[in-house]
Structure 1
Amino acid sequence: MIDLPLTLDQYEAERICVIKPSALGDVVQSLPILPALRERYPSAHISWVINRTLSDLVLGHPHLDEAIPFDRQGSWAQWSRLLGVLHSRQFDLVFDLQGLMRTGIMTAATGAQVRVGLQTAREGAHLASNVTIPNTGRDIPAHQRYWRGAEALGLGESRRQTLIRISKQDSNWAEGQLSQLKGMVLGIHPGAGWTTKRWPIEKYAVVGCKFMRMYGGSVVILGSPDEAELGEQLEALFNRFVPSKPILNLSGKTSLKQLSTMLSAVDLLATNDSGPMHLAAGLGTPVLGIFTCTSPEISGPPGEQHELIATRIPCAASYKKVCPHSGADHLACMEELSTDTVCESLVRLIEKNKLTHRAA
């Protein structure tokens, strides 16, 4: 640890690096720090280390000068080149918002005078930082944890902005896709990285059907290429139960920019705890977030405009990627969280955001 002559909010920097390679939701929740950094350091060169697959999130950002791509499955030669790039940039202020061994190595490689980390750092990543931001433990909501960086710079009262550049081409694409639909548009993202986060497809179908019948609206199914099969299953259920209703299945068929554009364009989103949930919320779309093995207080997006509902069984918010129970208790959270409960939350979401009235 160095003995800093000034507190972080008094430290002057000319070259700044944010290290936050993944995952989608965490990167989205970290994005508000960029406008804060630009406000504090208007002339600084600001870089961001990000997984190559997520780089579209930051490319074209008005407050970012450079995206440094990271290939998680890259070769040793690629890893060595990345560390060389980080060292050559001569950063004087670095934020490691990931806090894992690989980002700790990146942080150390920069040789920056001030290297800032969070209390959630593990795998020895804390050894690379010489400043740890207080009140950033795992009991702090993730979005607040990342915003502590802005607070440490004396900008905690600044407006939080999630800025993602959407091109005219992508906007025109989304407009063309939605032109075939009618009424209020509900986006549904039925996927998630963990099995224990995925509320059943059949229940999403019930919620979507009730929405279309109550409000005369339409449904767009969204997801990554890995979730295309889930999207097809949900589409098949809709075609079976409401064959006359307009359904648009874009699961696995969008780029990250197109997904961002569509999440911004739909009226509301029903989703598991996932990256698209945070992306939609950051872009200003009201979210109905369904939480089974995670906590809406810790992992959910901020804002009263959203509806976040969670299971109430004893092992709720256990953050287990695989259900540890067997028999009748296996994935009991999925059964406990009923479609009636979710539909009631959907109605509340629509009403408090004054989206529309029920169809006659």
Structure 2
Amino acid sequence: MRRILVIRLSAIGDIVMASPLVHALRRRYPEAHIAWLVQPETRALLADHPELDEVILWPHNEWRQLIREKRFLALWRRIREFRKAMRARGFDLAIDLQGLFKSGLLAWLSGAKERVGLGSREGSQRFMTRVMPKGGRPELIGSEYRFLADMLGLPTADFRMRVGIGAEAARSADKLRKAHVADRPYAVICPFTTRPQKHWFNDHWAALVPRLRMELGLEVIMLGGPGDREAAWAIAERADVIDLVGDTSLQEAAAVIRGARLLVGVDTGLTHMGPAFDVPTVALFGSTCPYLETGRENTTVIYHDLPCAPCRRNPVCDGRFDCMTGITPEEVLQRVAQVMPHGEEST
């Protein structure tokens, strides 16, 4: 294989969990040109990956806007331009990790002679030359990607997540840290995601934050995206937290996480970066349970296996979200003690 294309368009957590495939491909094909096709909003996760040769952007928003405006001729021209640019790269292999119609179509547009789909559905299997099932152990983080690597004959002995951080983002994050915590050790909390049933309640965050400071000597930084600002204010009003929500780029947030002594978060992309950087992590899952094992001794998952869990996108509890309400600050602190038993002396 001389030229390989990986397709995983979104989202943050999925791309982080799929990232070990790049290292596995690089070890198997050290001289290959390896590219990743991604949507613009998640490009930053891959832009500085040391083992990727190229990050290609799919102009998702532009195509969607043309569809909304019913400018189908212009859309067809954009698709033809995209296909021409992709086929000029001469890919030998395209690996579709998303398994949706849109990702399958993009794999076909790439012109790759061999197109492998992971768990292809929505008709995307028609674009593939080979379809692999989603195998592995569901309780292990990224198990479907490890299983795919095994099926493709790739080495998986060091199958760990990797997030690239550029020098500029690292410098910006360092300035933020110095401005807010100086040289004091700090924890990161990641309370926000796209679905309310995945959130931990504000009362719990307000109770946890001061105990992290008093019992472990950790300042507490809260991270999230621009769309999370209003929800962040609700927590910041009740807890003495350093609120950086919406004030960092994705890479800057990753750099802040990399320097933390502890991360506590819900099922969101930033939380999955904790084990990627080998930061002691306590992950709080309820309506979803993406994994229970990470291969890291300093990462633990709190998940109450209720009869209704995981409900994913279809909660049946009338908004009580018992799976998350039942996780108490005391339980979180007990798990924190397991992953970083020496408090601020932990590295």
Q: TM-score category by the smaller chain?
A: 0.7 to 0.9
Tell me the alpha carbon deviations over residues 239-272 of structure 1, each in whole angstroms, 9 at most, x when there is no partner: 4xxxxxxx32110110111011111011111000
**1:215 and 1:355, CA in 2 relative to 1: closer, same or farther beyond 3 A?**
closer
TM-score (norm 1): 0.85
Point out where structure 1 has 5 or more consecutive residues left out of the alignment.
1-12, 240-246
Structure 1 residues 214-223 or 176-185, which shifts more? Answer: 176-185
- Structure 1 equivalent of residue 315 of structure 2: 323
- Counterpart for residue 333 of structure 2: 343
Q: Does the 8 Å CA contact 1:324/1:330 hold for their aligned counterparts?
A: no
Q: Does 1:303 align with 2:303?
A: no
Which structure 2 residues correspond to residues 260-339 of structure 1 after superposition, within 5 A? 260-295=254-289, 297=291, 301-320=294-313, 322-326=314-318, 330-339=320-329
TM-score by length of 2: 0.88
- Do 2:134 and 2:148's aligned partners in 1 also have CA atoms closer than 8 Å? no
Aligned to 1:187: 188
- Name which of structure 1's ranges 274-283 and 167-176 shifts more when overlaid on structure 2: 167-176
CA distance in 1, matches of 2:285, 2:134: 24
- Greater CA deviation, 287-296 or 85-94? 85-94
Instruction: Supply the AA of the counterpart residue of 2:199.
Output: R
Which aligned runs of 4 or more in structure 1 are off by greater than 6 angstroms?
A: none
State how far apart, in whole Å, the 1-side matches of 2:295 and 2:271 are: 11
1:110-138 deviations in whole A, cap 9, x for unaligned? Answer: 2322211112x221112222223345379
Query: In 1, Cα distance between the equivalents of 2:232 and 2:78?
Result: 35
What secondary structure is seen at the aligned counterpart in 2 of 1:285? coil
Match of 2:131 in 1: 132
1:253 paired residue number: 247
Letter aligned with residue 147 of structure 1: R
Contact in 2 for aligned 1:50/1:69 (Cα 8 Å): yes
Match of 1:215 in 2: 216
The equivalent of 2:59 in structure 1 is 71
Q: Kindly report which structure 2 residues correspond to 1:1-360, keeping only aligned pairs within 5 A, or say none.
A: 13-75=1-63, 76=75, 77-119=77-119, 121-134=120-133, 136=135, 139=138, 141=140, 143-179=142-178, 180-181=180-181, 183-239=184-240, 247-295=241-289, 297=291, 301-320=294-313, 322-326=314-318, 330-351=320-341, 354-356=342-344
**Partner residue of 1:242?**
none
Checking the alignment, whether the CA contact within 8 Å between 1:117 and 1:126 is kept in structure 2 is yes
Q: Percent identity?
A: 27
* Cα deviation, residue 32, structure 1: 1.1
Amino acid at match of 1:262: V
After superposition, the Cα gap between the structure-2 partners of 1:280 and 1:78, relative to the gap in structure 1 and judged at 3 Å, is: farther
Aligned CA distance change for structure 1 residues 270 and 78 (closer, same or farther; 3 Å):
farther
Relative distance call for 1:56 and 1:350 in structure 2 (3 A) is same
Distance 2:32 2:315 in 1: 47
Q: 1:337 to 1:79 in 2, by over 3 A?
A: farther
CA–CA separation in structure 2 for the residues paired with 1:207 and 1:150: 40
Is there any run of 5+ residues in structure 2 with no aligned partner, and where?
64-74
How much is the aligned-residue C-alpha RMSD, in angstroms?
2.3
